[in-house]
Chains A and B, each alone.
Chain A
Amino acid sequence: MAASEKGIGKIIFSSSLGTLIEWYDFYIFGMLAKTISVQFFPAGNATAALLSTLAIFAAGFLVRPFGALVFGRLGDLVGRKYTFLLTLVLMGGSTFLIGLVPGYKSIGIAAPLLVLLLRLIQGLALGGEYGGAATYVAEHAPANRRGYFTAWIQTTATLGLFVALGIILLVKTNMSDDAFTAEWGGWRYPFWISILLVGVSIYIRLKMNESPLYAALKKEGTTSVNPIKESFGHKGNFKMVLLALFGAVMGQGVIWYTGQFYAQSFLENVVKLEFMQNREILLWAIGLATPFFLFFGWLSDKIGRKWIMLTGMLLGVIFYRPIFGEMLKAANAKEWATQHDKKTELSLEKSTVKSDTTFNLKTGLLIINHKDEDWEFEGNRYNEKKSDTLMPAEGVTMFAPISVMIDSTQFFVKEATDAKPVYSNVQLNNSLKWKFIFLVWIMIIFVTMAYGPIAAFLVEMFPTKIRYTSMSLPYHIGNGVFGGLVPFIATLLATTFTTDPLVGLWYPIGVAALCFIIGALYLTNKKDKDVNDQKICR
């Protein structure tokens, strides 16, 4: 039943393109989280707004398992082709509409509610897409190349991220920050572009045929009448669903999100990398690592899937803290600042005083918030914002009105014990930038190991008539819940244990370690030669 070499190429292209676009649609929301939080949530508390957006982001992931059930059932009942066509329409439509929702300033609470609703639809659609595409390709692929062919589907999640990053960067570099972040600004363009991409993909998918294995079942009248009951109500299959979740997908999910999403979030929020350079680093790392999805998919056809996936998890467990720690240490603006931040004589005329200058009547000290200053250290640039406490020069009346003091007095900066400099917009020099690209690339290689072979692994685990439902649910619990919550739980951990900037990593490390142990103990490395209904995973 395997398609010809030319035929499988078309099948892979048409399946992968749609899945890539779905991932693109899903990611642009997360990548624009900061801008979206300002637009759709009450202003005033930036952290609360960001966390609210993250909650919506997580909500998008949390509904994915439900999408897996709804569309998985549909895919097993009416066929793969029409189901993942429907998910594509839902995803593209909801993404486009997010780009049309007016901001909170215009329509109030309706704005975040509409965004939440559309985000939930996105999550549902994504829950139905992946299983269909992976199943569709696998059911066309020859047994000895199933890992390689389905690995093309595995590249789509990363390439979707790549395209999303690329389009956002393209839009952002062609306009000012203000134009990008305005209520109807450039941040909406990536959402609008989606409708074009989806239109093309729908056209291509309409020309596809139904999966041959499913078509055969349909012809024989042996399709499942209740896929959900057969998948989860039947002990024999249910125990395989549990094994797939706890022995493979759970760990793969956290490895995926830590390498590709948490890394970006960490670089932006903890290392304080400048927006564009952060994305540039991720783009390079993703671009250079993506071929390895195909390599490990191919390799899994030769040596089996299990140990490749588990090795990816184990490497993450071992190396996450050293890698993230190295990034934090290498781009330490606070450390760089000590090279410059000697006690510097600064006259008031020369200083750049902002309007929020305050005069403390009790202590008689003048607190001046300096304007943001850019510094350079060994080719690395960073921004420093600091409040200085000034003491008057000799002979100056201490309690004169501030206006008089500013007009007539020279001040000297006192080393301020209460000053807490805030560093941001860190821009690395070229060698350090490439070091960061290499470090992120390594983490994405872990992703390619854990993720590359997993579609073939899951397809081989379940019989044709309930495959869409059975493989979709563990996949989306593993990725949506365990993986999708990495940024959220990491943020919660970092808020609780403030002394360790790497504390958020304990969540993915713990989950991946548990999954590695379970997988090593209970999975076998055998491949299923035939994925027709008479064979299942061993």
Chain B
Amino acid sequence: MGLIWMLLAPVIIYFLVKSAIHNISSGSTKDINQPVPWIIIITIFTPIAIGLMIFGYYAFKGEYDKLPESSEEI
């Protein structure tokens, strides 16, 4: 499953960027057609998506198979 989480991250970013390009246009006053909301959303979700990728990597490596039970195991 770790691979799925790893792949999901770039897919999310891809769709966000694609939607932004598709929707941003200069002739409209609608919020969805303005660049600012898209910049905010992509800026915020990119590090989170990278976090999801790292999470997927850890899951793939079996890091979550046994969770730590004490501070010494961290």
**Interface residue ranges, A against B (CB under 8 Å):** 45, 47-48, 51, 55, 58-59, 62, 234, 236-237, 239-240, 242-243, 245-246, 463, 477, 481, 485, 488-489, 491-492, 495-496, 514, 518, 521-522, 524, 533-538
B35 interface residue (CB < 8 Å to A): no
A-B contact pairs, 26 of them (CB 8 A): A45-B29, A48-B29, A55-B37, A236-B68, A236-B73, A239-B58, A240-B67, A240-B74, A243-B55, A243-B64, A245-B51, A246-B5, A246-B51, A463-B74, A481-B48, A485-B44, A489-B41, A491-B31, A495-B31, A495-B32, A496-B32, A518-B55, A524-B67, A535-B70, A536-B73, A538-B67
Determine the distance from Cα of A463 to Cα of B36 in the docked complex, in whole angstroms.
Answer: 39
**Interface residue ranges, B against A (CB under 8 Å):** 1, 5, 8, 23, 29-32, 36-37, 40-41, 44-45, 48, 51-52, 54-55, 58-59, 63-64, 67-71, 73-74
Residue from the list B1, B36, B63, B69 in contact with A239, Cβ < 8 A: B63
B58 to chain A, nearest CB (A): 5
Closest to A234 in B: B74
Determine the distance from Cα of A518 to Cα of B51 in the docked complex, in whole angstroms.
Answer: 14
Interface of B: prevailing SS:
helix
- Contact in complex: B71, A536 (CB < 8 Å): yes
- Contact in complex: A242, B55 (CB < 8 Å): yes
B73 to chain A, nearest CB (A): 7
- Contact in complex: A488, B64 (CB < 8 Å): no
Contacts of A538 in B (CB 8 A): 67-69
B66 to chain A, nearest CB (A): 9
Contacts of A537 in B (CB 8 A): 67-68
- Contact in complex: A518, B5 (CB < 8 Å): yes
Contacts of B32 in A (CB 8 A): 492, 495-496
Contacts of B40 in A (CB 8 A): 55, 58-59, 62
Contacts of B23 in A (CB 8 A): 496
B38 to chain A, nearest CB (A): 9
Closest to B45 in A: A481
Closest to A480 in B: B44
Closest to A522 in B: B64
- Contact in complex: B69, A51 (CB < 8 Å): no
Closest to B37 in A: A55
- Contact in complex: B71, A535 (CB < 8 Å): yes
Determine the distance from Cα of A195 to Cα of B33 in the docked complex, in whole angstroms.
Answer: 39
Contacts of A536 in B (CB 8 A): 68-71, 73-74
Contacts of B69 in A (CB 8 A): 535-536, 538
Contacts of A491 in B (CB 8 A): 31
Contacts of B48 in A (CB 8 A): 477, 481
A508 to chain B, nearest CB (A): 15
Closest to B1 in A: A521
Residue from the list A239, A485, A496 in contact with B64, Cβ < 8 A: A239
Determine the distance from Cα of A351 to Cα of B65 in the docked complex, in whole angstroms.
Answer: 74
A109 to chain B, nearest CB (A): 16
Closest to A62 in B: B44
Closest to B36 in A: A55
Contacts of B74 in A (CB 8 A): 234, 236-237, 240, 463, 536
The 3 closest A-B pairs by CB, nearest first: A236-B74, A51-B31, A242-B55
Determine the distance from Cα of A62 to Cα of B41 in the docked complex, in whole angstroms.
Answer: 10
Determine the distance from Cα of A245 to Cα of B5 in the docked complex, in whole angstroms.
Answer: 13
Closest to B22 in A: A496
Contacts of A495 in B (CB 8 A): 30-32
A124 to chain B, nearest CB (A): 16
- Whether A534 contacts B52 in the complex (CB less than 8 A), given A58-B40, A488-B37, A496-B32, comes out as no
Residue from the list B30, B41, B71 in contact with A533, Cβ < 8 A: B71
B19 to chain A, nearest CB (A): 8
Determine the distance from Cα of A492 to Cα of B70 in the docked complex, in whole angstroms.
Answer: 45
Looking at B5, B63, B68, the one whose CB has the most chain A CB atoms below 10 A away is B68
